[in-house]
Every structure is written in C-alpha cells, then in structure tokens.
C-alpha cells in the first residue's frame, strides 16, 4: 500500500508528474493538493484505469490535513518558476514560505513520509525543510530529499549527443553539489561505462549541464521553466524511492540530502564544508541508506569546479536555515 501526495499538483510540473504517478501500479492512493484547480485535475486523472484512487484537495475544508494524513511519500513542486533574467535565488522570497508551510503540514500529518522537494531554490528550500522538521522534533535526514535528478537526466542526454550513444539512459553520470548554475557539478570522469569526451567539447558540455535550466527558461520566453523534463525526472526519483522502500536492492541516484544524517555522509560533509550536498545515494527501506563518496575521486578539473560550488552553496544553505531560525 503506497499513498503518494503531490503538493503543487495543478502546476506545470504537478500535472504531468501526477499523471506519471497515477500510471505506477505500486501506488494505491494518490492525493493531489494545490491552492487552485485540484478538483478538476483529480477528476481528470481519476479516469485512468490503474489502481491508485485519486483525490483532489484545496486548502479549504481541512484540505492539507486530509491530503497529507497517511502519506508515505510527498512530492513538492509547489511554488513560482523563473522567468528570463531571474536566478533561482530570486524565487526564495515567495517559495521559502510556501515550502515552510507545506513542511509544517507534513510534520503534523505525515511525519514519517519520504519528502521529495522540487521547489526552487532547492539549495535553500531543503535546508528550510530540515529546519522546520527539526523544530517539530520529527526530522529524519534519511527521508528528506532535494530532487536534483533533472541535472543527471540532462548530463545523460547531452553527453550521449556528443559520444553518439543512442540510448542516453545507459550511461550513469554522477552530478553532485547543488541545483543552480556553478553549484551543479557533473563528474564525467566517473561515468559508467566510461565516456570519451573530446577535450575541446568538455567545457561547453559542463556549462550546458550547469545552465540547462536557463536554456529552457529562455526558450519558454516568460512562460515558465522546465516542467515536462522535470516531471519525468521527479517521477524517476520517486519511482526509485518506492522500489527501494519495497525492498528492491542496489538502487542508487544522486540527491541533495543532509549529509551528517546519512550513513557515510559525515566525511563528505567535512571534505566539502557543506552539510547539504547532492551525491549518489543508495536507497533502501529506511530511505537514504548510504551516501557514496565520489568527491574524493574527482579529477583536477572537477575539483576546480567543486571549489566554486562550495562557495555558492554555503551561502544558499545558510540563507535557508536563517529564514526559519530568524524569520524576516
Ligand atoms: P507552476 O507555477 O506551473 O506550478 C506551481 C504550482 O504550485 C501552482 O499550481 C500553484 O498554484 C501551486 N502552489 C502555490 N502555492 C502553493 C501552496 N502553498 N500549496 C500548494 N500548491 C501551491 O510552476 P512549475 O513550473 O510547476 O514549477 C514549480 C517549482 O518547481 C518552481 O519553484 C520551479 O523553479 C521548480 N523547479 C524545480 C526543478 C528541479 O530540478 N528541482 C526543475 C524545474 C522546476
Ligand atoms: C531547472 O533546472 O530546469 C529548474 O531548476 C528550473 C529553473 O529555474 O531553471
């Protein structure tokens, strides 16, 4: 029995993500929560002939409580997206409060749920979530994930285009650090199977992974940011969590977690100086069961990228923690 909740279910990501979750036969209940339009989205999706019973909730009539109660997994794509010229940090002002409110709901109504945070800026919203859960006395670092899978998906796709691999998903590439610009660090030297990237193409490839989000924001020209590729990526991560929780072994995917609370993470936190950081995570019934150190084996060029990552990321993390500890 798996009850999944999408918070922000009526949005550009929320709708296709809810559709993908409805298609997953391991999910028996799917609750769609948003401040608008969920009755319609839920009615539509509920006609699909898969097991999940679909319900839609608005804030009125205890909607948050009814949506979250009994949830095993909550995916959060709630909040405003970027427009051209904005950074992800520009979203903080509005999205920080949205994420805080939703996490307070999780702390109250489903404190044991696996929480997947998509809302930007992920580098700050995940520390906000951790701080809210800590204050409520229900923080389990193994169950809180910042979703950085889109960076992994982009790295797989863009490298396949260069090396001529027909199925991009066949290559595993650790993408680590955070989820914005220079804090995103793809480690192509650790691709499996290994890839041979021409030297004159490497910098542009790294840059494209780091700024892939901007590419979509620019192309959408004011109509938002990545939604469909994000729904795919968010679903890929959620599906892996569900499979791992149901006992499937050997499932690894990078995610932005609170490292000191995940086995193997403490040493990585010390080496990077960042308590929140994305590394490949081995998933299991308790959630994030092991953080895998790929930092110490980065090559010299990647180490240089990592130095820039640490600087930006530390500021983003402190900003999130500060928001909860000393509210503006
Ligand atoms: P959108 O505006 O299309 O949808 C957001 C939805 O959130 C809307 O339906 C809105 O009503 C809802 N919402 C607002 N406040 C809410 C609240 N308090 N409770 C519940 N729902 C609420 O935006 P989108 O394109 O779907 O993007 C959503 C977020 O995801 C943005 O912050 C965006 O930057 C982020 N994002 C993250 C990644 C990633 O890789 N982690 C990728 C793409 C987008
Ligand atoms: C992305 O990487 O596509 C998302 O974080 C959305 C954005 O603002 O770029």
Residue 244, C-beta contacts closer than 8 angstroms, at least 6 positions apart: 251, 283, 284, 285
In angstroms, how far is CA 193 from the centroid of its own chain?
25
* ipTM for the assembly: 0.99
- Domains annotated for the chain, with CATH where assigned, are 2-146 (3.40.50.720), 148-319 (3.90.110.10)
pLDDT tens digits for 266-320?
A: 999 999 999 999 999 999 999 999 999 999 999 999 999 999 999 999 999 999 9
Question: What's the rounded mean pLDDT across residues 57-66?
Answer: 98
**DSSP string computed for 219-252:** HHTTS-S--HHHHHHHHHHHHHHHHHHTT---EE
Ligand 1 interacting residues, C-beta cut-off 6 A:
7-8, 10-14, 33-36, 77-82, 91, 95, 98, 101-102, 118-120, 122, 147, 150, 179, 224-227, 230
Look at the alpha carbons of 124, 130, 133, 137 in this order and tell me if their dihedral is positive or negative.
Answer: negative
pLDDT in tens, 235-261: 999 999 999 999 999 999 999 999 999
Residue 117 alpha carbon to ligand 1 centre in Å: 10
| Average predicted confidence (pLDDT) for the chain | 98
Let me know: does 254 contact 149? Beta carbons within 8 Å.
Answer: yes
Q: Is the CB of 150 under 6 A from ligand 2?
A: yes
6-24 pLDDT, tens digit each:
999 999 999 999 999 999 9
Instruction: Say if CB 171 and CB 154 are below 8 A apart.
Output: no
Closest CA to 98 of 74, 120, 72: 120
């Amino acid at each position: 029995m798996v009850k999944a909740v999408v918070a922000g279910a009526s949005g550009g990501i929320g709708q296709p993500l809810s559709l993908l979750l409805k298609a997953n036969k391991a999910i028996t209940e799917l609750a769609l929560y948003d401040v608008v339009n969920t009755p319609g989205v839920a009615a539509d999706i509920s006609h699909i002939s898969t097991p999940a019973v679909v319900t839609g909730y608005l804030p009125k009539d205890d909607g948050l409580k009814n949506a979250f109660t009994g949830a095993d997994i909550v995916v959060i794509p709630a909040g405003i997206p970027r427009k051209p010229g904005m950074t992800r940090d520009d979203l903080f002002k509005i999205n920080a409060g949205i994420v805080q409110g939703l996490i307070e709901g999780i702390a109250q109504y489903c404190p044991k749920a696996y929480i997947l945070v998509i809302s930007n800026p992920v580098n700050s919203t995940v520390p906000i979530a951790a701080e809210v859960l800590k204050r409520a006395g229900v923080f389990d670092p193994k169950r809180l994930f910042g979703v950085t899978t889109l960076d992994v998906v982009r790295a797989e796709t863009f490298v396949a285009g260069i090396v001529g691999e027909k199925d991009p998903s066949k290559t595993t590439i650790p993408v680590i650090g955070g989820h914005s610009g220079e804090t995103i660090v793809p480690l192509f030297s650790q691709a499996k199977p290994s890839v041979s990237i021409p030297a004159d193409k490497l910098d542009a490839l790294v840059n494209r992974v780091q700024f892939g989000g901007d590419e979509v924001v620019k192309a959408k020209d004011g109509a938002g940011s990545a939604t469909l590729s994000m729904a795919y990526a968010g679903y890929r991560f959620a599906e892996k969590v569900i499979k791992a929780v149901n006992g499937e072994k050997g499932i690894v995917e990078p995610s932005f977690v609170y490292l000191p609370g995940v086995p193997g993470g403490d040493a990585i936190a010390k080496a990077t100086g960042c308590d929140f950081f994305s590394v490949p995570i081995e998933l299991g019934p308790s959630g994030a069961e092991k953080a895998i150190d790929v930092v110490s084996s980065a090559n010299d060029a990647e180490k240089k990228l990592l130095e820039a990552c640490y600087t930006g990321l530390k500021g983003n993390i402190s900003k999130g923690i500060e928001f909860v500890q000393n509210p503006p």
